[in-house]
Amino acid sequence: MTLTIFGVSKNAIAAIGLLYLLIICENAQGTKYIVGGRIGWDLDPSVFHWPEGKHFKAGDVLIFKYSNPLYSVEQVNKTQFDSCYSDSNPIKTYDSGHDRVPIAKGTTYFICGVPDYCGYGMRIVINAAA
Ligand SMILES: *[C@@H]1O[C@H](CO)[C@@H](O)[C@H](O)[C@H]1NC(C)=O
């Protein structure tokens, strides 16, 4: 015989409790975003607009997916972002082709390490709330 509480089985309640815990853990780790969505980190003008309308928070994780070594990801400052030129001196470089980048509060700038590709739109600005 299955024990029921208000007509809901104990197993269902346990399942809901587990789901609740999973959601809490997921929130604690932040939301994961695939940069560029379906297109990924690619030589496509839409990538520049990908962050628009999204509400990033500190602790969220950006996942840059691309074919390495064709592209790379450089975290840069505003000057470097505006000029599409890091002068081999970015804040950080990622080149695994599947890079997980946790974001901090504030504004973070990413460009493709290939200057011409950055100029074509392979660069994003992320604004993250606390
Ligand atoms: C950006 O980084 C470059 C290279 O390290 C540096 O020369 C420049 O002053 C920095 N600009 C800002 C606004 O921090």
Q: Does residue 119 share a domain with residue 85?
A: yes
Name every protein residue with a CB atom under 6 angstroms from any ligand 1 atom: 77-80, 89
Do both 10 and 74 map to the same domain? no
Candidate from 79, 83, 88 with most ligand 1 atoms within 8 A of CB, to mutate: 79
For residue 50 the two structure tokens come to: 């990908």
Are 16 and 35 found together in one domain?
Answer: no
Quote the number of domains for the chain. 2
- pLDDT tens digit string along 73-113? 999 999 999 999 999 999 999 999 999 999 999 999 999 99
- Asked whether the predicted pLDDT for residue 9 surpasses 80, the reply is no
- Judgement on whether residues 1 and 55 belong to the same structural domain of the protein: no
Q: Are residues 12 and 64 in the same domain?
A: no
**Does residue 19 sit in the same domain as residue 35?**
no
User: Is the pLDDT confidence value at 128 over 90?
Assistant: yes
**87 CA from centroid of ligand 1 (Å):** 10
CA of 77 to the centre of ligand 1 (A): 6
Domain shared by 11 and 69, yes or no: no
**8-9 vs 4-5, strand pairing mode:** antiparallel
Same domain membership, residue 124 and residue 60: yes
Average pLDDT estimate for 31-59: 96
Looking at the fold, whether 93 and 118 belong to one and the same domain comes out as yes
Nearest-atom number in ligand 1 for the CA of 77 is 1
Specify whether 53 is located in the same domain as 91: yes
pLDDT score for 80: 97
Pair (1, 42) in one structural domain: no
Q: Quick check: helix, strand or coil at residue 87? A: coil
The residue whose CA has the least distance to atom 14 of ligand 1 is 77
Helix count (H) and strand count (E) of the chain? Answer: 4, 10
What pLDDT score was predicted for residue 51? Answer: 98
CA distance 123 to 130: 23
pLDDT recorded at residue 5? 63
Is residue 21 domain-shared with residue 70, that is, in the same domain?
A: no
Phi, psi (rounded to 5 degrees) for 34? -85, 115
pLDDT at 23 over 60: no
The boundaries of the domain holding residue 112 are: 31-129
- Taking the centre of ligand 1 as the mean of its atom positions, its distance from the CA of residue 29, in whole angstroms, is 31
